[in-house]
Chains A and B, each alone.
Chain A
Amino acid sequence: MGEKSDVWQGTLALMALRTLETMGRQHGYGLARRIEQTSGDRLQLNYGTLYPALLKLEQEGFIRSHWGLSENNRKAKFYALTKAGQRHVKKAAKEWEETTSILARFLAPAEEA
């Protein structure tokens, strides 16, 4: 689990940021569910791991949090993107695309050879 979660910490942060960008403010549980849905339920998150990742993003100034009420009138802590966070998502998404496309070339079946 250790190695895997390390990898996930980075991508998980990007997923969370991207989800917040498209969906607007979300509480932790909603965010977790949304990430699972977006992955087509191929990701099975350990929900607990989401919170330290969110805290890190908040410490870095990409998101901010405040207490509010959920649609069912339940008290929950909501997260929202900051300006810096919006910039960061764009940049990070671009970098990630770059990385995956390069990696894709390596992993593609060797047809051209």
Chain B
Amino acid sequence: MPMRKLRALWIRIRGMIGRQSDDEDFAAELESHVDLHTEDGVRAGLSPEEARRQALIRLGGVEQTRQAYRERRTLPCMETLSQDIRFGLRVLRNNPAYSAVAVLTLALGIGINSAVFTVAQAALLRSWPAKDPSRLARLISTTPQGQEINFSFADYRDLAEQTKSLEGILAFNRRTKILRVGVESRPVLDDVVSPNYFSVLGLGPQLGRFFPAESTSESHPSVVISDSLWHRVFNADRSLVGKEIWLTNRPFTVLAVAPPGFRGLQRGVPTDLWLPIANEYSGQELADRKNREFEVIGRLRPGVTAEGAQTELDVLGRRLSSAFPAADKARNVALISERERLREVMAPTLFLLTVVGLVLLICCANVAGLVLARADSRRKEFAMRLALGAGRVHLMRQLLTESALLALLGAGLGLLFAYGLLRLEPVLMPPAEVEIGLDLHLDASVLVFTGAAALLSVLVFGLMPAIQTSKISLVSAIKGEKTGMVRSVQRWTMRNGIVLVEIALSVVLLTASGLVVRSLLFSQSLPLGFDRQRHLIYFDLLPGVAGHNPQHSAAFFSQVRDKAAALPGVRHATLARRVLLSESGGGTQQRVSIPGVELPQGQLSVPIKFDAVDGNYFRAIGTSLIEGREFNSGDSPSASPVVIVSRTMAERFWPNKQVLGSEIVADGVARQIVGVAEDAKINSVHETSEPYMYFPFAQLPGGEGTLIVEAEDNTPALTGRILSEIQRVDRNVPVSIRTLRYLMQQAFWADQIAAGFVGALGALGIFLGTIGLYGVVAFTVSRRSREIGIRMALGAEKGDIMRLVLGHGLALAAVGAAIGLIASFAVMRFLSTLLFGVRPTDPLTFTCSSALVILVALAASWIPARRAASIDPMQSLRME
């Protein structure tokens, strides 16, 4: 029977549309009923009129019957709702500017909230990516110095063997490997894991099988790859399981593909592969209790509480500590349950959500302002409807429906906006050779959150106008009197306050973004010591990994350099041990002593960073030589050791002296200075120059280096040709490719993100401030329309009225901007660590931001001012 009821319900819902023809159909049926009845009456001897009269009486009234029929055909409550919605939509459509601004404002507020909630969810709230994650708990090691998350393998193994409250404990450690597919090599992130890793997590493979329970070192080690790597690199090839892949020049057999979406246990840094511990460490390394490398996660046995497990781990930890005092003295083991973890992340989550919640609140205040301004101009409409018999409840419901429609549209658009924001994530992450980033997606919990945010906004911005309106006093409203003057004055000042805060805030944010943008421009104009416009391609080569000894490596390097230099389109080809401004930018140092030069504080030697470069290096990257010569083929391993020093090094140790020909001793090798090069940025764009030195590439043999090619123009084909030349020399050497463009992106990433982020906040601030100001000014204009009418009747010109309204907007903006400027002075010094080449009190930026805000305020007041000036005095006075 419920099926029948459902069927009936469905038909009734359908009945709400296309009712016109149904109504006509029933009218015809009733008509035929009355005709049939009348006919019978006539046959029984009544006059036609009398027969028809009786038929209608027996029917019980045509209208009543129709009403009863209609109610049965559709759902009456839905009927009114759909009526309200249709009316609301019409109201919104009739005021497109108002609706668009309100919806956009809400969409911004809700969208930002949803996006931040998604980030908080991914970064903080989401549980372990495992089955029944509430039973998983991280084990940590407590020491007198604090807590550590890493354990030695031996301690881990003892804990795993002895625990009874945990049904399984897994260990893992993050490493990187180089994956070679075809001719290309790329770095990948791997987790070295205990064999029970997947079974403790309760995960099954999507292809193949996971590690056997007891795995020992194998000659042909096995590997599990992530779903993401499987798709990215292997095109989801189902026949991959059982095949070999090459990792850092060893073959591994692919055992399985991890389930889709599983990215390992570290948030933000997804794992590409999993390898069993036994293959990656020697027995000696694993036995060393001081070698703490492994993170440890345990699964509580069903029914065992975290407290119970903690008691047992306490005993086990003390046992370890007394059994192995050399490594584990004063250490103990603690457990962080999922509930405890959630409690710990609650504070940052709440902080984040409060901040964006405030943004939503400001958005709501703005929309409430707009709704009130409109409700005020609709007072007569409402009063008229009340007078015509609409209930106050109905009026409130109607207004709330309109607000709910706004919120619904806002939430929909907000979700789209949030989706767009989340799609930006890869752009916002620092450029890196491995894939990093949080697992961000809009899931059901985000939808629920968005819904709640929208509902909350309706309550905040919709309820007050609705209540206010339903209190309209009939007579005075129709007469055009403004009721509740005292109340509305209070409201007015509170709303002025909100607008002042918004304007002040937007001045602060604009000032901040101005400063950050100027700092970025300054950074980008800084001399780097080399030419950032050149088409430089870097081929990072690791012949050492391929098993070459230093002599072989040296031969390999000079071969690829010569091959590359001979290609058409190549201007210069050179070699370097390290690349400026890259991750491997050169932190290593050699201790240098200088005969005949007094070192600071009487030290015998000082540490100085260095690079090893080949001939043509300075010419290729565009660093100028101040004195002397570049290296050349004469600077061979057997020739006398030489060095080129940086300008800062020359000025520091040989002020006003002859540098060329002087001698230094670096790592026990005496070297003669043959040149002085301009300073270049080594690790960061913002570093101050420090002494730096260059050795001939050939005189510092090693298993790694970079082939640097200066191309004539930006042609990707050249990269491919050079790569195949390298492969032809030795196809076992791992290669990864970078460009100068990429390095520059990496180097300026932090500045760009800061500028983008603060700039976006500034734009948001000024947008909200504008809406708020517009709402207040428009509201005042509608409130004062009678006064304006009187002024005009008394001879005020349109220009006077415009000035009056603009003056009001400008006064608000000026006060807000003044507050904002004072606040900026106080706040900007916190930015000083982010700023380069611009002072936190830069007067130009301060002037510009406040001028911009005032200008925008002028524009926001312009529309209501125009409306005020176009008031017809006769009409506004007739309202009396």
Contacts and interface: CB of A to CB of B under 8 A. Distances in A.
A69 to B, nearest CB: 10
B35 A52 contact: no
A56 B8 contact: yes
B36 A49 contact: no
Interface in A3-31: 27-30
Given A27-B32, A29-B33, A77-B32, A49 B68 contact: yes
Contact of A48 (B8, B35, B40, B65): B65
B72 A56 contact: yes
Interface in A47-69: 47-49, 51-52, 55-56, 59-61
A93 interface: no
Nearest to A77: B29
A75 B28 CA distance: 9
Interface string B786-797: 000000000000
Interface in A27-48: 27-30, 33, 45-48
A20 B69 CA distance: 20
Contacts of B65: 48-49, 51
A61 B5 CA distance: 10
Nearest to B55: A47
A75 B32 contact: yes
A70 interface: yes
B4 A60 contact: yes
Contacts of A74: 32, 35-36, 39
A29 B68 contact: no
B845 to A, nearest CB: 70
B243 interface: no
B11 interface: yes
Contacts of B68: 48-49, 51-52
Contact of B61 (A28, A48, A55, A61): A48
A70 B33 CA distance: 11
Interface in B2-34: 4-5, 7-8, 11-12, 26, 28-30, 32-33
Contacts of A51: 26, 29-30, 65, 68-69
B514 to A, nearest CB: 67
A47 B33 contact: yes
Contacts of B72: 52, 55-56
Interface residues of A, number: 23
Contacts of B36: 27, 29-30, 70, 72, 74, 76
A48 B34 CA distance: 11
A61 B29 contact: no
B73 interface: yes
Contact of B64 (A27, A48, A77): A48
Nearest to A88: B4
A55 B402 CA distance: 34
Nearest to B39: A72
B6 to A, nearest CB: 10
A49 B35 CA distance: 18
Contact of A47 (B12, B58, B69, B73): B58
A47 B60 contact: yes
Contacts of A70: 32, 36
A60 B8 contact: yes
B267 interface: no
B32 to A, nearest CB: 5
Contacts of A52: 68-69, 71-72
Nearest to B72: A52
A33 B12 CA distance: 28
B8 A46 contact: no
B831 interface: no
Contacts of B58: 45-47
A28 B28 CA distance: 12
A76 B32 contact: yes
A45 B37 CA distance: 13
Interface in B211-250: none
Nearest to A84: B4
A108 B60 CA distance: 36
A80 B69 CA distance: 19
Interface string A77-113: 1000000000000000000000000000000000000
B59 interface: yes
A81 B102 CA distance: 55
A61 B37 CA distance: 28
A72 B69 CA distance: 27
Interface of B: 4-5, 7-8, 11-12, 26, 28-30, 32-33, 35-37, 39-40, 58-61, 64-65, 68-69, 71-73
Given A48-B65, A60-B7, 13 more contacts: A28-B33, A30-B36, A46-B58, A47-B60, A48-B68, A51-B26, A51-B29, A51-B65, A52-B68, A52-B69, A61-B7, A70-B32, A74-B36
17 contacts: A27-B36, A29-B36, A46-B58, A47-B37, A48-B59, A48-B64, A49-B60, A51-B69, A52-B68, A55-B72, A59-B8, A61-B4, A74-B32, A74-B36, A75-B28, A76-B33, A77-B29
